[in-house]
Structure 1
């Protein structure tokens, strides 16, 4: 079971991956314009009220495309990794030390959402959980999801919706 920090990281990355209008929100691009982007990003950055910078929207779109490539084509895609490294160079981080020997890497400069997402990617990759982020096998859906199965064999973001459709279609083609 993921910790609260893992759940936040996973949910933030899934929101970014699915912000292009896939899955249950088909056709709704959360990064269509600056107003939609601000409404989308505020809950993901813990509602600090901070407005997005002028160049934040194109950078966020670039990050979304990069993350989608890494999920779809494997985490070793050299072009996507180069793009991720380029985005990372535009961020500043610092360690925040708290009581009980806790230290947290925090975004300090640049777009907050991008900084948090980069930290989330690094965390999941370091812990070997990045490959649990997947894209739904239903070609009409393409929603990103986090595979929680032990064998890492989940194929659909929602078995009740996409899995059922695939199974019914396969059954009908076999019996037709």
Structure 2
């Protein structure tokens, strides 16, 4: 029995990993199909201290297909507001920026979905205190592409989820200023 203990201890991890793959085989097959598709499309494979990545996530389409709509549960607003064209360029706009982070969420209908967190930052407390609300304009494939965040909590954080990369546009409304500050940020899905 003493001779078997090293063999058993060496087999525990491979057996556990094999069992987990078998238990989640549907998800694992979908995951491998996504990797295969990205490699076939010419995506680079990177492995390093930051993790493992295969190519980029797909770009969201220019035209909206009803099958591609992203329904993240947000309520639809009836608004005819236009999406801001170009980012603002002035002294106040230089003090405000957008940032984002993403995290893999799940695979749905053969697509990898990511949680997306977008925030607005100011370079000082005085500018931050003047922000009244932020209107985020997401890609048209979102069921509700216009999101208004009026809560200062977490730097006007917008939480959503999606499956493709896109440019988010934002209008930052400040007290005592008539025109909103317009910002853009490319949302990539590299976790």
Check whether TM > 0.5. Answer: no
TM-score of the two chains, using structure 1 as the length reference: 0.22
Highest Rg: 1 or 2? 2
The structure whose residues are more often helix, as a share, is: 1
